[in-house]
Amino acid sequence: MGGLIQREFCALCAACCIDLLFEDLARLPWLASLVADAKRIVTFTRKNHHMLAIFHSLNAHDIVLPTDTPFAYSYLVFHRLYMVMDSLCTSVVDRHWLTMSMANTDIARHLQYEVLDEAFWTKIETILPILKYIYTVLHILDKEGSTLGLVYHIYTRT
């Protein structure tokens, strides 16, 4: 090659970059604790069959698991938790809640406290509109072919 240096460049797709942005946001100290609390609520609800039965008796929607989606988990879990907030709050004060074998554990009491804490829901309500715009861009970019031009077109129209 006569002295020419070949360089390889790794260019991530735009959707992967946006997903990495979601991951970075979820690691911010002020958001990391909210993500951890949301994951605890989802995990407890999904793994405890009694709690899941109480929840499903009140709501037809399901709660998003981390394995359900590869992209934008933080936004999707916040969005779904916010959608089912009333059912979750009702579930943890339901009379059937007291009959659960796990109801008196530290994990269950912490979950009950978090679900009934208005500040928890206010934080989710505050962050959702910000994450929604990023998620919308991700949704546009996560298609076959070159989509960055489409994002530029949409951006210049608004």
Residue 36 placed within a domain: yes
H-type helices in 3-99, by residue range?
14-27, 29-47, 49-58, 73-83, 85-91, 95-99
φ, ψ for residue 67, nearest 5 deg: -80, -10
- Residue 158: which pLDDT band, with cuts at 50, 70 and 90? low
Task: Give the model confidence (pLDDT) of 99-145 as tens digits.
Answer: 888 888 898 899 999 999 999 999 999 999 999 988 888 877 777 66
Q: CA 37 to CA 35: how far, in whole Å?
A: 5
Write down the pTM of the prediction: 0.77
Assess contact for 41 and 81: CB atoms under 8 A.
yes
Task: Please tell me the predicted confidence (pLDDT) of residue 123.
Answer: 95
Residue 4 placed within a domain: no
| pLDDT at residue 6 tops 70 | no
Task: Please tell me the predicted confidence (pLDDT) of residue 76.
Answer: 87
Residue 39 placed within a domain: yes
DSSP code of 7? -
Residue 66 placed within a domain: yes
Q: Which domain holds residue 42?
A: 14-157
| pLDDT at residue 66 tops 70 | no
Residue 56 placed within a domain: yes
Residue 40 placed within a domain: yes
Task: Give the model confidence (pLDDT) of 11-43 as tens digits.
Answer: 457 777 788 888 888 888 989 999 899 989 998
* Total tally of structural domains belonging to the chain: 1
